[in-house]
Structure 1
Amino acid sequence: MMKIHLPGLALALSFVLPVSQAAVPFVDHPLQFRQPNGQKLTIYLSGNNYFAEQRLADGKLVVYDNNLKGYAYAVVSANGSALQSTGQLAQPPIGSKQSTPGLLQNQQPGLSPAAKAALVKQAQQQLLGNEEPHQHGPQHLTDGSPKAADDVPMALPATVRGLTVIIQFPNQTGTISKTQVESFLNDLTYTGFGNAQSVRGYFQQVSGSKLDYQNTVTRYYTAKKNKSYYTDNSLSSSVRSQELISEALNWLEYTEGFNFSTLTTNSSKQILGLNFFYAGEADSAWSKGLWPHMGGLSPRFCADGVCTSLYQITNMGTNMAIGTFIHESGHLLLGWPDLYDYDGSSEGSVAAFCVMGYGAIGVQNKFKPTPPVGVFRHLAGWDTVTELNPALNSQAPTGQLSHTSGARQLYRWGNPANTKEAFYIEAVHQSGQNQYQPDQGLAIWHVDPSGSNSNEWKPYIQMEHADGKRDPENKRNRSDATDLYDGNTTAEFNKIFPNALTSRGTNALWWNGSDSGLNISQISSPASTINFTLAAASAGDTYSGTLAVGAQAIVPNNSYFQYNGGTLRLTLSAATGTNFDLYLQRWNGSSWANVAQSTASNSNESLSYAASNGYYRALVRSVTGAGSYQLNIRK
């Protein structure tokens, strides 16, 4: 049960990590488009490169119509699976203008979350093809959900050399110079275009100087055809973009004689950082023509013993912000997943607290993105962790602990029955790279690779929101100033929040519903260093044995124990390939009755039970397989 003590309240929590690829999200992102009749439309995009709702300032939905060669009003199809054109060209709304992001007037109902999720999956397959995240980092499936990944750091080389190709067109030359692009990417002290740092400077800062990401910038390549050929709105963004990219790479190889083997690759000799900037604006409808995106080049380009994998392509415009480039580099270099919700049914759970969520967009964050969450920094090999669960670390510290924002060290409370699940704990202070974080205090992340960013109620990384409101999950905001734990939390939040999974509240439960045992209290006021008290947890008693197929054992020692009441926590670990079930039984005066059980289809089980005074015993039963087991009982 989660207990949170603020000036006298108690708190409980746990940690682990995975990865996917996509793009920086849009939130009422304005797109200027000229209709075939010459009228200018301002369209507001909310979504990402896989699915985006496109609306006018009056809230009406629009889609690009290939027949009309412009944007048309849209309606939901009869089967509810897509938005389709009405065949009528959209007109600029009269006397209606957007003011506050997210508050477009009188929004026309759009697709259901399920329909959006289906379109996301289809678009991911089209853009990414069969490309997998780079093998040096955690792996994810193409639906954005992670594959199984151990909590083991998988670091990049200390220096990563990427390639950035700048492109212009016969009818549109580049206005941002090669020198400016090199500074944007590589200068260690950089403030151009309003940025607080360069791309290289960001990664040096958030990695504690353990990652030096440098980009080789080419001279301008002039495309074979005018820009309008590549911005063909009748084609998806993967068609002409990939044609342009292939042109540029062949130019580099056969005209410039570039040595691609100088670039950093993964173990499969795939280039990690492959980037393309082209002159001017996107000049394309959403997801069409040269719309900025990340994708997998097909067919691959190979030279000098290395090949392409994933790439990112975007326009330079007249002003370049580092946020999008850094977000995409998190995918390309480190395999980090997006932490926002693709189908738009929520704002995710981590929301604006990470560069892979909404921490790379916005008026301030696009110039000074927030850092990656602690779990990502750990898996990159930048931060170490201290295990706090005595069931996993016999030397685990207890009592008053402290954590300093940006200290390169994290706390973790792992799940003995599931080594991939845990809570991470770190301080966040609104200074340095964290300057534009939504809040400051103690952050607690519940991490499990079996989660998915398409499920806001079991994501890969869930933030335990201190106010218990879960505003991002309920699509009320993208984080606010009451999300982190601190000693200044008002009386309104001085309570223990619901911790039943059905209540979807803030809690310290494992995903199987059992109590993690994490208990944090006496959290100090917001500061660079946060102090808190970790209640000592009993390591419990451990019993070992073996079972034949179909056999069962009574623990402890074929007997029972008397308990005066409180929470009983049982954790079972069995031999690989077995499926043993776990039962807690209580004597009811005439027989032993099951009062709690854990019967997952694997070799690990755990349960938590609020026990009254009485006599108890555990029963371990083999469903399939034979072998050894260990049962830990904590009282």
Structure 2
Amino acid sequence: MSKIVGEILTFPSGNENIKLRVFGDEFYARRESLDGYTAIYDNNLEKYCYAKLDNGKLVSTGEKINGPIPSGITPHLKEVPEVIKEKFQQQYENSGYSNIEDINLKKNTDDGVNKTKGDNKGLLTGDRSSEGKVLGLTILVEFSDVSTTVTSQDVEQMLNGENYNENGNYCSVKKYFNIMSNEKLEYSNHVIGPIKLPHNRDYYMNAPFPFVEEAMNIVVNDLKIDLSIYDSKRRGIVDAINFLYAGQTVYQGKLWPHNSYFSKDYNGIKTGFYMLSSLGRNVSDISIGTFCHETGHLLCRFPDLYDYGNRDGDYVDSEGIGVYCLMGSGNHLNKGRTPSPICAYLRDLVGWCDKEINLNNKGSYTIKHGDYNTVNKYNTSKENEYFIVENRASFDLDSYLPSSGLAIYHCDIKGSNEWQEDNLAYHYQCALLQSDRNLDLERNVNNGDKGDLFGQGNGIVLSNSTIPSSKEWDGSDSGFIISNTSEPNINIKIEVL
């Protein structure tokens, strides 16, 4: 899934284009005018209009959103949880996840698609392909009314290039996962197309499954592509299929960037999980962030570390881990060109960290930036609950973070980043302790600011009695005490008491 948090996007509305702020994902989203009034698309008028509430549901006023404000309308209108849940369920029923065949995967979706709760030891249920050589199939797709000037060679470089930095991208997708996994995962892609689908783009926004099925039929039946070469584990299922469609990203319906599931047998090889996103209008739009985020779901079975606002029994918005992880909203940093690293918590879960530093042993430690092979961990008295310390100073892939310094995560593989309550029953799976004490991530104020990470500190920086504290989720003293942190740099020194 790919969540949008207040980004300004352009939408067709009648005979003009308008800019709206978007909040949500492919299963439920809300839109606002730039001055904060909720907008809804009026199918009869074929334009975005001011919304009003009718029995807890957003309906159109019939007045266009860029016109005079109707009397009695207030900003930031939201639907009631029951309506949100109903709309979510309708979208889910038309998604690929409602067709998952494997009962072990269905256990992960009691009220919908991949959730923020990782039921498989912190990860999403399903077979991982997070190590070894994996060859993905990437298909470029045009519509009858939308073509692209982006070539397969352009995408090939974005995905596989060794020294790729076009458009300000930090690296290629292959290089990103090579860095994050300490060379344990070599993920490259075979790029084909563009192929052309028979209908216009709007048709595919709302139809249940024709985009994926029509594209795959062309790939296998017309282009004669042998899917078995994309099955690295020889299990009869393609490891990774990626669809990149022509034009700018459409944050509506079935064209919203997402990771989903489509199973069909082609000559003895089945399709399975796939990713869908946009190519952009031209080569200057190409960025790696969303592709990397969706690949995190696809290959590694990473859960999202952000809050959907309507999953896992919770209907309160928060930001989860924010921009401090690829699987939060960090895929959008630098317009997607310098995505945030995968946080140490998730790297550790998939076995990419060969070295574990036990912070339960008192002493002085040097926390190195970019040491993706190491996890610095303090274990609490509770099984599956622990703290991780990571250097997130402003270098390399961390260059576009709003804060620079020491990141301290409070982790529990049985938590959910939907749960911002901070108690034993309901808490984040991976919470960033925010140095400024404001709890902006939990309170949905922002997805990261300059006060989040720990800078230079003399004396006690973190303990049972500080704010934020190192208390366990049940309020008991974990015993974790950090003092005398050095200034943000390639090496940050700390003392554990």
Matched, 1:23 2:2: yes
- Paired residue type of 1:28: E
Partner of 2:49: 72
For residue 219 of structure 1, give the secondary structure of its aligned residue in structure 2: strand
Are residues 495 and 220 of structure 1, via their aligned partners in 2, closer, same or farther at CA, if it must alter by over 3 Å?
closer
Matched, 1:55 2:29: no
Structure 1 residue runs of 5 or longer lacking an equivalent are 1-21, 96-104, 391-396, 500-504, 536-635
Partner of 1:248: 215
For residue 129 of structure 1, give the secondary structure of its aligned residue in structure 2: helix
Partner of 1:293: 258
Between Structure 1 and Structure 2, how many residues are aligned? 472
- Paired residue type of 1:294: N
Percent identity, aligned pairs only? 26
Deviations along 1:433-471, whole A, 9 cap, x unmatched?
A: 221222222211111122222212311111111222211
User: Residue 261 of structure 1 contacts residue 304 of structure 1 at CA under 8 Å; is this kept in 2?
Assistant: no
324, 337, 342: which one pairs with 2:308? Answer: 342
Matched, 1:44 2:21: yes
Deviations along 1:83-104, whole A, 9 cap, x unmatched?
A: 2233x15242479xxxxxxxxx
Partner of 1:456: 420
Larger Rg: 1
Matched, 1:368 2:341: no
Are residues 140 and 526 of structure 1, via their aligned partners in 2, closer, same or farther at CA, if it must alter by over 3 Å?
farther
> 2:410, 2:109 → 1: CA distance?
18
- Paired residue type of 2:59: Q
Partner of 1:147: 119
User: Residue 56 of structure 1 contacts residue 93 of structure 1 at CA under 8 Å; is this kept in 2?
Assistant: no
Partner of 1:156: 130
> 1:55, 1:314 → 2: CA distance?
23
- Paired residue type of 2:58: L
1:15-414 correspondence runs (5 A): 22-35=1-14, 38-78=15-55, 80=56, 82-86=57-61, 88-93=62-67, 107-112=75-80, 116=84, 119-120=87-88, 123-127=91-95, 128-131=97-100, 142=113, 143-147=115-119, 149=121, 156-231=130-205, 235=206, 239=208, 242-264=209-231, 269-281=236-248, 286-288=251-253, 290-297=255-262, 300-316=263-279, 317-318=281-282, 319-343=285-309, 345-362=316-333, 364=334, 366-386=336-356, 388=358, 397-407=361-371, 408-414=373-379
User: Residue 167 of structure 1 contacts residue 223 of structure 1 at CA under 8 Å; is this kept in 2?
Assistant: yes
**Cα drift, residue 351 of structure 1:** 0.9
Are residues 334 and 140 of structure 1, via their aligned partners in 2, closer, same or farther at CA, if it must alter by over 3 Å?
farther
TM-score by length of 1: 0.67
Are residues 115 and 226 of structure 1, via their aligned partners in 2, closer, same or farther at CA, if it must alter by over 3 Å?
closer
TM-score by length of 2: 0.85
- Paired residue type of 1:253: V
Are residues 526 and 73 of structure 1, via their aligned partners in 2, closer, same or farther at CA, if it must alter by over 3 Å?
same
- Paired residue type of 1:477: N
Are residues 179 and 112 of structure 1, via their aligned partners in 2, closer, same or farther at CA, if it must alter by over 3 Å?
same
> 2:451, 2:20 → 1: CA distance?
33
> 1:55, 1:385 → 2: CA distance?
47
Partner of 2:410: 446
> 2:354, 2:150 → 1: CA distance?
40
Q: Which has the higher helix share?
A: 2
Matched, 1:526 2:488: yes
> 2:468, 2:86 → 1: CA distance?
29
Are residues 288 and 274 of structure 1, via their aligned partners in 2, closer, same or farther at CA, if it must alter by over 3 Å?
same
**Cα drift, residue 116 of structure 1:** 4.2
> 2:60, 2:418 → 1: CA distance?
27
Structure 2 residue runs of 5 or longer lacking an equivalent are 310-314, 422-426
> 2:381, 2:109 → 1: CA distance?
24
Cα root mean square deviation, aligned = 3.3
Are residues 389 and 24 of structure 1, via their aligned partners in 2, closer, same or farther at CA, if it must alter by over 3 Å?
same
- Paired residue type of 2:295: S
Q: After the TM superposition, which of the residue ranges 370-379 and 112-121 deviates more from structure 2?
A: 112-121
For residue 295 of structure 2, give the secondary structure of its aligned residue in structure 1: helix
**Cα drift, residue 176 of structure 1:** 0.9
Are residues 339 and 112 of structure 1, via their aligned partners in 2, closer, same or farther at CA, if it must alter by over 3 Å?
farther
- Paired residue type of 1:340: Y
Partner of 2:424: none
Are residues 436 and 291 of structure 1, via their aligned partners in 2, closer, same or farther at CA, if it must alter by over 3 Å?
closer
**Cα drift, residue 289 of structure 1:** 5.8
For residue 433 of structure 1, give the secondary structure of its aligned residue in structure 2: helix
For residue 85 of structure 1, give the secondary structure of its aligned residue in structure 2: strand
**Cα drift, residue 415 of structure 1:** 3.2
